[in-house]
Amino acid sequence: MEHFSTHVVHNAPICERYHVMKLGWPPRFAPPLPGQFLTIQPPPGTGALLRRPFAVSDYDPLLSQIEIVYERRGSVTRHLAACRTGERLDILAPLGRPFPEPTGNARPVLLAGGIGMGPMFFLATSLLTRNKNPVLILGARDSTLIPELPLFERIDIIIATDDGSRGLHGTSIDALHSFETDGNDMNTEYFACGPMPMLRALALHADQTARKCWVSIEQTMGCAVGACMGCVIPVHGGNGYARVCTEGPIFDSREIAWT
Amino acid sequence: MDLTVRIGDVTVSNPVGVASGTFGYGSEYEQLIDLKSIGALFTKAVTWEPRPGNRIPRIIETTSGLLNSIGLANVGREGFAKEKYPFLSGLSCSTFVNVAGNTEDDYARTVEWLDEHAPLTGYELNVSCPNVKEGGLSIGGSPRMVEVVTRRVRAVTDKPVIVKLTPNVTDITEIARAAEAAGADALSAMNTLVGMVIDVDACRSVLPGKTGGLSGPAVLPVGVAIVYRVSRAVSIPVIGIGGIDGPDSALQYLLAGASALQIGTANFVDPTVTDRVLEGIRSFLSHHNLTAAGEIAGLLDR
Ligand SMILES: Cc1cc2nc3c(=O)[nH]c(=O)nc-3n(C[C@H](O)[C@H](O)[C@H](O)COP(=O)(O)OP(=O)(O)OC[C@H]3O[C@@H](n4cnc5c(N)ncnc54)[C@H](O)[C@@H]3O)c2cc1C
Ligand SMILES: Cc1cc2nc3c(=O)[nH]c(=O)nc-3n(C[C@H](O)[C@H](O)[C@H](O)COP(=O)(O)O)c2cc1C
Ligand code: FES
């Protein structure tokens, strides 16, 4: 875990409302892993207090850069969208537990819902590099929220939109079902990040089909280092709660007490 | 330059501490700051039995503030002794266990047990808790209850006992005097202010428990005024807490009469805030040709 000031190397929109930002990552730091996140201190003038968490969406050891994909939502992300190359940001990273390795020779099926795509891109790239043959299912509300990325040329990808304006008409879960009924119903393991209803549906499906399923969970954070107990979610076992910032954000879907 | 602070029989190395509930048990921040540089570490509340804490969501940002409803989530005295104590006991800064309870017995028995099984520098009593025997009224809201709780704890330990005052009372000086009379070595002022945020679209409170505790820059002027009044009502040291996020806010407390400080929410925003504050105090002292932090309060225009 490092606390440092770094500079923006690249910052640009990739589709409606979503942007990508690359930041300098000092080479002496340990590399971030897929599933881990960072926090950014709200820059002066945003009127915001708490650091904002974002999943790492890529890491380039050669250029010493990390990347995030973020959605313009409120004061801090609007400020980020206007950041120019060279501007400095205060970063805490890498935080949280990464995605585990796929078990045995299971084929990794990666599900991304909306802005949950960031960590799935990182995992996809890392699995491709290691010849793990991942499938990426990307669900969005409509075609304006689907970026065009070089990664998509290299990976088996299925796109689904709620309104059918691009790819399959339906949710990422619908896309998963059609992928599986197309004869891909074999030895797979799920990795996912997206809205809670999507993760809940996936966890249920994983339970019914006895597959392993790893989900990335979001929760409002205070410290992001395990000190404040502010970011918990209900889990089975222990005292009934786990901290998303340290025990997560990646959880085995069976650990979570879905409500 | 003398930055030390006396709390009971103990000398704390400098006036900058970290507040209960915002710094875990120290190990969480080990990779981020040099723990030797802080004066005192106040742990998350420890209760007799473990507590899971409140329902979610537990925190929400407000204008310049943080509203929390963590609910004293902690591993209980035995978990504390087993899992947290070994790390804390190895630290060179002063370490105070923040103790909470729901009856007068809770505080004394927890302190007595910790004194035997997990002795650190001393205790800070979090009296901002509902008293289950008196219909859930806050212990810290009653001078009589604060006096009873403090006296009971005083009787079972020789270590410094600090009483942490809640601002959610009618006359805080009355509570402060009750704690002093019962043998408290110092007072911490203040805990969080009761607050509430309503989601207008959903027509319901954002926190499941309806209200929470407000902290952060928003509460700074409230804390400074409380320390100003309390430090004039008692003769024991007062530790200023609430909204400190840098040298200026810290110096406001010291000028108002605080002998020491605790920083809470600001650790979340900038883990190096304690260093910045200590540096700020040092340069203020040299700027005013003072030799000890304790002399700062004397500068306040009367
Ligand atoms: C582990 C983790 C990873 C995340 N990864 C990404 C990511 O890769 N890309 C991305 O765009 N966003 C991500 N988020 C959400 C991101 O942190 C929020 O969108 C951001 O904090 C909004 O800040 P703001 O000031 O722009 O908006 P605000 O005005 O603060 O809030 C706008 C809305 O964002 C939501 N929000 C605010 N704070 C949080 C928070 N701490 N967690 C979740 N939602 C919040 C609320 O619903 C709020 O109504 C992640 C959150 C977590 C916890
Ligand atoms: C997340 C959180 C948890 C807290 N937990 C405790 C606690 O367990 N015991 C206690 O006495 N005070 C607790 N507090 C109060 C702080 O110690 C401090 O009094 C308050 O936050 C005001 O200081 P600040 O504005 O610097 O945060 C907590 C505060 C926060 C924000
Ligand atoms: S955000 Fe503080 S414990 Fe997770």
* Cα distance between residue B46 and residue B24, in whole Å: 11
Tell me the pTM: 0.97
Q: How many CB pairs under 8 A join A and B?
A: 97
Q: Indicate whether A85 and A116 sit together in one domain.
A: no
- Which amino acid type is present at position A224? A
* Active site annotation includes B203: no
Is residue A219 within 8 angstroms of chain B, CB to CB? yes
Helix (H) or strand (E) holding B195: strand B193-196
Q: Indicate whether A149 and A67 sit together in one domain.
A: no
Which is nearest to B177 in space by CA: B205, B150, B200, B155? B150
Mean pLDDT of chain A, nearest integer: 96
Residue of A nearest to B20 (CA): A228
Q: Indicate whether A115 and A31 sit together in one domain.
A: no
Q: What's the domain count of chain A?
A: 2
Is residue A241 within 8 angstroms of chain B, CB to CB? yes
Q: State which of B16, B67, B97, B192 you would mutate to test the pocket of ligand 2, scoring each by most atoms of that ligand within 8 A of its C-beta.
A: B192
A84: helix, coil or strand? coil
Does this complex have an ipTM over 0.90?
yes
Q: ∠ CA(A153), CA(A14), CA(B61), 5° rounding?
A: 130
The reported pLDDT for the residue numbered B131 is 76
The reported pLDDT for the residue numbered B129 is 82
Report yes or no on A237 lying in a domain: no
Query: Band of the pLDDT at A184, cuts 50, 70, 90?
Result: confident
Q: Indicate whether A74 and A169 sit together in one domain.
A: no
Report yes or no on A238 lying in a domain: no
The reported pLDDT for the residue numbered A183 is 80
Do the Cβ atoms of B45 and B98 come closer than 8 Å? Answer: yes
**Joined tokens for residue A185:** 């119903």
- What atom in ligand 1 is closest to the CA of residue A77? 26
Give the gap in angstroms from C-alpha A58 to the nearest C-alpha of chain B. 24
The reported pLDDT for the residue numbered B302 is 75
Atom 44 in ligand 1: residue holding the nearest Cα: A220
The reported pLDDT for the residue numbered A93 is 97
CATH of the domain at B282: 3.20.20.70
The reported pLDDT for the residue numbered A182 is 85
Q: Indicate whether A112 and A195 sit together in one domain.
A: yes
Domain-terminating residue out of A95, A128, A146: A95
The reported pLDDT for the residue numbered A1 is 94
**pLDDT tens for each residue of A100-142:** 999 988 999 999 999 999 999 999 999 999 999 999 999 999 9
* Cα distance between residue B182 and residue B189, in whole Å: 17
Do the Cβ atoms of A175 and A152 come closer than 8 Å? Answer: no
Q: Indicate whether A113 and A143 sit together in one domain.
A: yes
Q: Indicate whether A182 and A111 sit together in one domain.
A: yes
Report yes or no on A204 lying in a domain: yes
Give the gap in angstroms from C-alpha B294 to the nearest C-alpha of chain A. 31
CATH of the domain at A206: 3.40.50.80
Domain of A88? 2-95
Residues of chain A with Cβ-Cβ distance to B270 below 8 Å are 41, 90
Query: Band of the pLDDT at A188, cuts 50, 70, 90?
Result: very high
Residues of chain B with Cβ-Cβ distance to A52 below 8 Å are none
| Residues of chain B scoring pLDDT < 70 | none
Residues A56-85, mean pLDDT to the nearest whole number: 97
A74: helix, coil or strand? coil
Domain of B221? 5-301
Q: What's the domain count of chain B?
A: 1
- For residue A222 and ligand 3, the question of a CB distance below 6 A is answered with yes
**pLDDT tens for each residue of A217-252:** 999 999 999 999 999 999 998 889 999 999 999 999
The reported pLDDT for the residue numbered A186 is 83
Is residue A226 within 8 angstroms of chain B, CB to CB? yes
CB atoms under 10 Å from CB of A175, counted, come to 21
Q: Do B70 and A50 make contact, defined as CB atoms within 8 angstroms? A: no
Report yes or no on A245 lying in a domain: no
CATH of the domain at A60: 2.40.30.10
- Which amino acid type is present at position A42? P
